[in-house]
Amino acid sequence: MQIHNLGSREGARLDFGREALWRRLTAPLAALAVRLPVYLVSEAQMDRLYPPERRRFFREEKLRERLQEVRAQEREREDGEDDPFAPFQDLDDAGPDTWGRVSVVVAAGLYVRRLDPGGKGGIAGLAAQDPEPGAVEAFKTEEGPAIFLCPERILAWAQDVRVPEDLALDKVYCHELGHAYMDTADFHPDPYGRPWGRVVEESLANLVAFQCFQGAEALWVARMIRKQPPEYRGYAAVATHPVLFHIDLPFRRHPVFREDYLYWLHRYDLPGRLLTLLLFPSPLDVGNLNLQAWQKTKQLGLWQHPEAEWAWKAFARLLLEEAVRA
């Protein structure tokens, strides 16, 4: 594993050599861990690296109010034609006050597929302490993919929710590995750039992280997640609600939807286990099947099909509803 301290004052407090960390990783995550370099950065460096377009979050109090309003309106009509996520688009807040409140629990880690050479300028100058030997040189030639971790924020998060520091590190690291595992949009636009796509992916990434823990440690991770914005907190729902088998989807209202979308999935080689689940529900790992569906949706651009997009938007809405329990 390649670890470079690019300027974090607290980097030495994070122990990546623990056997406990590596025992947590599944085979796919371990394969990524040995391939992806990790850069430890200061808060100022993380803020510079964090893409501006990703500094958008749902305010929980406004989301609760909107969900109640929408439910009241939906009781008065039966049609399912509307965009299921449209009522929440304007709640996607990018204000500086929001960033100040959530940066510790959101920008503690960052997965980057590709680093813009023009965006590297000045990063070294934002270090909280002198970078370790070779770190700046490695960063200058880094093209990505790579993971960035901010020890200062990880430790502050751990202290705030009173969980062990090592556990907080492992949770953040596994979450970013989860993003790397879902990075399959090679030739199509990435739906993460849309609010509903961010809800799905962040919930799945937290599920990936949560499943790396057992017992009391899993409860500590749940405590950490509880501090994050609503779009990060759908991990429990994404583990139990198949994307095409929850009640918000319009199977009864649109009889052709199911047949057309199943044909679309089959045509583009969605994993057979998921196709089987869609036709014959079974006690398989729903969270893993949703993860596979999202990977394939991104890889093949399936979400650009209107009916598939409708399904993912309805799924994202369900995740938000479960996250805030409105």
Q: How many helices (H) and strands (E) does the chain have?
A: 15, 6
For residue 192, what is the DSSP state?
A: G
Euclidean distance between CA atoms 181 and 29, whole angstroms: 7
Strand partners, 3: 38
Cα–Cα distances in angstroms (integers) from residue 307 to residues 55, 254, 277, 294, 299, in the given order? 28, 10, 19, 15, 17
**Among 4, 48, 9, 20, which residue's Cα sits nearest to residue 169?**
20
pLDDT at 71: 82
Mean pLDDT taken over the chain: 87
Average pLDDT over residues 48-72: 90
Tokens of 165: 């520091």
Euclidean distance between CA atoms 40 and 180, whole angstroms: 17
Euclidean distance between CA atoms 292 and 271, whole angstroms: 7
Ordered by start, the domain boundaries in the chain are 1-55+94-181, 57-93+186-326
Does residue 74 carry a pLDDT above 80?
no
Q: Phi, psi at residue 226, to the nearest 5°?
A: -60, -25
Residue 211 exposure: Cα atoms within 13 Å on the Cβ side: 21
pLDDT 10s digits, 200-229: 999 999 999 999 999 999 999 999 999 999
Euclidean distance between CA atoms 317 and 311, whole angstroms: 10
Does residue 303 carry a pLDDT above 70?
yes
pLDDT 10s digits, 84-121: 899 998 888 877 788 888 999 999 999 999 998 877 88
What's the full length of the chain, in residues?
A: 326
pLDDT at 242: 84
pLDDT at 78: 54
pLDDT at 89: 86
Euclidean distance between CA atoms 219 and 217, whole angstroms: 5
pLDDT at 119: 76
pLDDT at 250: 41
pLDDT at 278: 54
pLDDT at 284: 63
pLDDT 10s digits, 178-201: 999 999 999 999 999 999 999 999
Euclidean distance between CA atoms 206 and 222, whole angstroms: 9
Q: Which residue carries 């993380």 as its tokens?
A: 46
pLDDT at 52: 87
pLDDT 10s digits, 252-272: 344 444 444 445 555 545 545
Does residue 247 carry a pLDDT above 60?
no
pLDDT 10s digits, 123-161: 999 999 999 999 999 999 999 999 999 999 999 999 999
Euclidean distance between CA atoms 3 and 289, whole angstroms: 32
